[in-house]
Amino acid sequence: MNDLQVALIVAGVAAVAGVWGFNKWQERRQAQLAQKVFRSEHPDALMGAAGRDAAEESVEAEPMTRREPMLPDADEVAEVRAEVGGLPSLPEQYADEIADCVVRIDFAEPVSAPGLWVAQARWAGHIGKPMSWLGFDEGTGSWKLLSSHDAGHYKVVCAALQLANREGAVSDAELSTFLDGVWELAGQCSGVTGIPKRDDVLMTARNIDDFCASVDLQLGVKIVGANEPLTGPRLKELAEAAGLTLLGDGAFHYIDANGLTRFTLANIGSETFDADSIESLATHGVTLSMDVPRVPDGPAAFDALVEMARPLTEALGGILVDSQGSPLTAEMIATIRAKIAQMQGLMARQQIVAGSVRALRLFS
């Protein structure tokens, strides 16, 4: 046996060991999540009826007692991930160790991205949840998001399937399609991989979805006019003076320095605002809305929303009310603010920080 053959054998053994180690850790992580994550009952974070279909709820104060389950420590996850194969962490906007089921494949020889794309296209269309393919670019030493237009070749590839979003948790059928498809693809292309236990992944997905549903709130307050309707030009003047921008969805958006919408201003009626018709529009009321899980620093965003409501309420000669039409007092506003802070605190303790990349993906 010559030196080249020995080197190839050693390299092959090292690759198999690395993949085996990564996937054993992944199986252990999924089992831990299934056992530990989100065991306790989550009282309603806002108005007792929070859920993924709840919107514009009013607020009541209520005691909240709970035992917090915890996800694996983020630093521990990153440390273990870095130890396997010596590769950099995956980009979290595509492959998140908490939000996704991630499966790595090591190929004996570099596989062309077009060939991989054709192979996965046979079954990927049967999956409704977001899915990403990433290849490790040895030239740049970084992960690259693959697409049908990629012409590169990769020896290490990761497939990531998002476990939950606002449409619910990944289904048993979708997860089976994903895991079976990745396994078959690896076999077709002489790849080495390991598949996590399906039941553990499903339980993790459902636990994540249950938690996210319990804190999913789109908060809305309304300004109802009592006097003459407010003209479109005056409304536009007030909105723009407060830093809001009219976007194509027919609402004014308060956008922060990171490009995230903190709250919106929309017409209370069925007619939306747009650049062409707003000059001739008149309205008897508007709605101010905030998608709480997607907003960083929710209390500050709510303060800005209330501040925006004051001149609009005066201009309309109206009153600020909740979704049921009850006037919002200063005490109620303070209660809402406290609830937002409390809910976002719950999210942060579960490593789903409001407004973060992870939160934007899970609450999409």
3-36+73-214: what fold? Cell Division Protein Zipa; Chain: A, (3.30.1400)
Domain ranges for the chain:
3-36+73-214, 218-362
pTM of the model as a whole: 0.79
* Nearest-angstrom CA–CA distance, 354 and 358: 8
pLDDT at 81 over 60: no
* Nearest-angstrom CA–CA distance, 327 and 162: 41
* Nearest-angstrom CA–CA distance, 46 and 215: 8
Residue among 53, 359, 336 at smallest CA distance from 213: 53
Confidence of residue 1 (pLDDT cuts 50, 70, 90): low
Confidence of residue 323 (pLDDT cuts 50, 70, 90): confident
Taking the CA atoms of residue 269, residue 55, residue 297 and residue 164 in that order, the dihedral angle to the nearest 10 degrees is -130
Kindly report the CATH class assigned to 218-362. Answer: alpha beta
Confidence of residue 66 (pLDDT cuts 50, 70, 90): very low
Which of 20-34, 56-70, 230-244 has the weakest average pLDDT? 56-70
What pLDDT score does 114 carry? 95
What pLDDT score does 243 carry? 94
What pLDDT score does 64 carry? 33
The SS3 of residue 119 is helix
pLDDT at 147 over 70: yes
Cα-based distances in Å from 298 to 218, 261, 293, 320, 353? 12, 11, 8, 20, 11
